[in-house]
Amino acid sequence: MTNNLLVTGSSGLVGSEVVSHFAPAGWRVFGVDNNQRAEFFGPGGDTRWNQNRLVELFPAFTHVELDIRHRQDVLKLLADLTPDLIVHAAAQPSHDLAASRPFDDFDVNAVGTLNLLEATRRHAGDAEFVHMSTNKVYGDRPNAIRLKVLPTRWDHDDPAYAYGISVHRTDTNHRQTLARTERP
């Protein structure tokens, strides 16, 4: 039996790597992308080249043109596919753009995720759901951690972080905000 995988943001950096990993491993991969990056960033953000590359490289890959902000379309897709695994990598990735277009940012990142979660609950309750995110959710603190370059990746260069970064130590901005608001 072939497993079905749904990858949102499949033409983006992370999503396309997920496709490239699972398609050759025998999974039937359905990639959701609507090239929203081109609308957000102009021609330089266009990811159709990557979508076309995936279609050409992987016979087990099927592109699905869909906007995750559209709830009924997401519900129908999950009902039709009933995937075994969902990797959610779609997002509006620019924090600068989020400040100038907050509703677009919220609709893609929050509403789109909620649409996928609800569709999964209704139509693919046994599926594993993996939500990919960004280190930006931790603020700037992780940028201060020393890294070392290994042959295939970067790793922490401080034994204190051998098992990851404590969520409680990731950002101190909240303390600065409190200090500013508590001053007379």
Q: Is 65 helix (H, G, I), strand (E, B) or coil?
A: strand
Q: What distance in Å separates the CA atoms of residue 77 and residue 148, rounded to the nearest whole number? A: 42
What's residue 173's pLDDT?
A: 53
* Residue 144: DSSP 8-state: G
What's residue 139's pLDDT?
A: 66
CATH numbers and ranges of domains, the chain: 4-133 (3.40.50.720), 137-182 (no CATH)
Does the CA dihedral 107-108-109-112 come out positive or negative?
positive
What's residue 43's pLDDT?
A: 92
Q: Is 148 helix (H, G, I), strand (E, B) or coil?
A: strand
Q: What distance in Å separates the CA atoms of residue 133 and residue 88, rounded to the nearest whole number? A: 9
- Write the CB contacts of 169 (distance below 8 Å, at least 6 apart in sequence): 141
- Write the CB contacts of 53 (distance below 8 Å, at least 6 apart in sequence): 16
How far is CA 99 from each of CA 68, 93, 139, rounded to the nearest angstrom?
21, 12, 15
Q: Is 11 helix (H, G, I), strand (E, B) or coil?
A: coil
What's residue 99's pLDDT?
A: 84
How far is CA 82 from each of CA 7, 46, 112, 124, rounded to the nearest angstrom?
13, 29, 18, 5
Q: How many other C-beta atoms are found inside a 10 Å radius of the C-beta of residue 119?
A: 23
pTM: 0.78
What's residue 39's pLDDT?
A: 85
Burial class from Cβ neighbours inside 10 Å (0-12, 13-18, 19+) for residue 18 reads: buried
In this structure, are strands 154-156 and 147-149 parallel, antiparallel, or unpaired? Answer: antiparallel
**Strand-pair partners of 128:** 85
Q: Per-residue pLDDT tens, the chain, 184 aa: give them.
A: 679 999 999 999 999 999 999 999 999 999 999 999 888 888 999 999 999 999 999 999 999 999 999 999 999 999 999 999 999 999 987 877 888 889 998 999 999 999 999 999 999 999 999 999 876 666 666 677 888 999 988 888 988 887 876 655 545 555 444 444 444 4
What's residue 154's pLDDT?
A: 84
